A and B are shown apart, each in its own frame.
Chain A
């Protein structure tokens, strides 16, 4: 194996460095905190001749994604990055990209949405875009950002998948925190990620019509095929992660377990909160409490069967969402986990904990309180509330 460099990179730089090694043909993007470092670094790589790509400094995120759609339809490997308001502005085009089955990769440095204006982390942006037909991968730290940016291109461009991928990391907590990232050599990336082979590119020799009118007599079949492809992609994603693990000595999965042996209650986390939550689990374990943690990496497609398997046998699960779906049962993850488990005969109680909104710190003591609540639920075998907001001054909330 070739010598690998460990570089000091923050999450954004890790994404940019990975993208450079993936050799995209076209990048179209627009700056927005906390993603901006990505487009700045990529601009540097292009300006310094380290990356041979067309860089389109679009005049908006809507245009950035539209340009990516045009470029990807031509057969180019295509990348963009955004966050928050930018992703919201792209919303219309997100559906078009996935329905065209274009393997665009987009980094999202998760950030809260206005109003009030808030540049800090939560997942209102990508969770609000969960039904757009994109694969969504959530990362805990810069190393994961690096590794999964590379895998995202493989996943997206795999002919069994052909779907765009959002590869997400928490704003500031990950995007701006520098860590040692073990990078792969260029040749390792090349061997893992061959050049893209487009299926139906825009080609004068072989003209295709992309983006026709779909009347009710055809629309459902087209959407059904998209749904089948999205569901089936779980298997391919697992295969690609396994190949990556084996090739480069990593140990990733779509759901990762921490201290789950003998656990009776568990936290289910997504993104960077997992790190702090693990510390809380360690503390509880030291006190002999049967507490474990599951980290969900893949939210779209939702690995329903894997979730059922991972959660079965538990007495209570606390789902840590990083956003609120207003007027329902907390966050989307809580609702979907509950829905997934509903038809199981023996199922744990599931309570939602929307936490860390707009960049509010979620600390170890928050997770301790949550696990204590879960242990109470397990003991009494009743769930009294669907969810409680964490890290907020308000009646019924857990801690400021």
Chain B
């Protein structure tokens, strides 16, 4: 498989209102390239949803539904169940892939229950969570996905408290604990890795889950041209390792040749500026480095443990 061989269709058309350099747009476009035929999309309230459907316009060339913020797992479950019943009763001809799309707010936090319920019940759908580490649509508030020390408007870098004081929730562990057939992390900076994983997710026999890191220039306080570079740095610093869990087997799909210090990822981003000015907060940067190292070792151990 090569980039050139990806289908030419654009199920998400251009002209949408996402910011320049928005990671959501690039990533969802890539996600949709992994489909040979249009999926039925269930979208959560988020930047993606708001920016693509200002009535009377729509950017979607697929059937698309957005009922609310926290219920995407349940809506996709309903779509899947209806499809099963209608096909069984001869009122629908063919199976269409059900694709759930939700942000980190709509998945890590308010939508976690709905996702968990749907995974437990085993509905056959692909759930893609695009995380930009905060509630961007409402103006950059912290979420369970926001990394430690990041500035957001509800975890400000104040005179006393230097940004978010908690670690990021390890959503993949929660999802994997449901014993679903396939879960993986992807990045738009590694498009062929993304394609390969999406194909597996689509073919999985049951629910599958994809976690995509989608840099947000507006919320990360970064120039639009850095989006893809930041995605790469997230992987190379092991802040966002690329791996998959197939029927319980962990596999790291992108091992950095040279693991970069987290500082490479943090420094270019305005949301971490208070770690570098007025004076460098080595204490916090070191704590983040230690945490990332621990998580990286953990995932390598999981890979070893579940191989064979």
Contacts and interface: CB of A to CB of B under 8 A. Distances in A.
B65 interface: yes
B173 interface: no
Interface in A34-72: 52-54, 56-60, 62-64, 66-72
A178 B49 CA distance: 49
A70 B85 contact: no
B70 interface: yes
Given A59-B114, A66-B78, A67-B74, A25 B68 contact: no
Interface in B17-64: 37-38, 40, 42-43, 49-50, 53-56, 58, 60-64
Contact of A25 (B76, B89, B116): B89
A2 interface: no
B67 A62 contact: no
B218 interface: no
Given A28-B78, A213-B54, A100 B63 contact: no
B38 A59 contact: no
B53 A213 contact: yes
A70 B76 contact: yes
Interface in A204-231: 204, 207-215, 218, 222
A62 B81 CA distance: 17
Contacts of B81: 26, 28, 54, 56, 67, 71, 76
B121 interface: yes
B288 to A, nearest CB: 35
Contact of B114 (A26, A52, A62, A208): A62
Contact of B54 (A60, A71, A212): A212
Contacts of A100: 67
Interface string A177-218: 000000000000000000100000011100111111111001
A149 B74 CA distance: 25
A63 B76 contact: no
A69 B78 contact: yes
B82 A66 contact: no
Given A66-B67, A100-B67, A25 B82 contact: yes
Contacts of B58: 209, 212
A92 interface: yes
Interface string B62-102: 11111110110111111111111110110110001000000
B117 interface: yes
B60, B73, B91, B120: most-surrounded residue (chain A CB, <10 A): B91
Contacts of A265: none
B61 A214 contact: no
B302 to A, nearest CB: 27
Interface in A59-90: 59-60, 62-64, 66-76, 78
A205 to B, nearest CB: 9
Contact of A211 (B67, B80, B117): B67
A70 B75 contact: yes
Contacts of A320: none
A398 interface: no
Given A59-B116, A209-B58, A67 B77 contact: yes
Contacts of B84: 54
Interface string B114-126: 1011101100000
A93 interface: yes
A179 B231 CA distance: 66
A70 B37 contact: no
Most buried by B among A54, A58, A60: A54
B117 A25 contact: no
Nearest to B42: A70
A54 B66 contact: no
B56 A74 contact: no
Given A70-B74, A76-B86, A215-B55, A204 B96 contact: yes
A52 B88 contact: yes
B222 interface: no
Nearest to B64: A209
Contact of A63 (B66, B80, B83, B117): B117
B113 interface: yes
Bin chain A's interface residue count.
35 or more
A72 B85 CA distance: 12
A298 B91 CA distance: 33
A63 B74 contact: yes
Nearest to A67: B78
B17 to A, nearest CB: 10
B65 A210 contact: yes
Contacts of A202: 40, 63-65, 79
A28 B43 CA distance: 20
A75 B78 CA distance: 11
B63 A207 contact: yes
Contacts of A214: 55
Nearest to A208: B63
A26 B82 contact: yes
B47 to A, nearest CB: 12
B54 A75 contact: no
Contacts of A204: 37-38, 40, 62-63, 96
A52 B86 CA distance: 10
A49 to B, nearest CB: 13
A213 B64 CA distance: 13
Contacts of B75: 66-67, 69-70
A92 B82 CA distance: 22
Contacts of B43: 211
Contact of A93 (B38, B40, B71): B71
Q: Which of B49, B62, B83, B92 is most buried by chain A, counting CB atoms within 10 A of its CB?
A: B83
B86 A25 contact: yes
B71 A53 contact: no
A56 B56 contact: no
A200 to B, nearest CB: 10
Contact of B83 (A72, A74, A195): A74
A73 B55 contact: no
A96 interface: yes
Contacts of A62: 70-71, 74, 114
B73 A63 contact: yes
A76 B82 contact: yes
Contacts of B82: 25-26, 54, 70-72, 74-76, 78
7 contacts: A56-B78, A59-B120, A62-B114, A66-B74, A66-B114, A74-B40, A96-B68
Given A25-B86, A63-B71, A211-B65, 4 more contacts: A70-B67, A72-B78, A207-B38, A213-B50
Closest 3 CB pairs of A and B: A70-B78, A59-B117, A67-B78
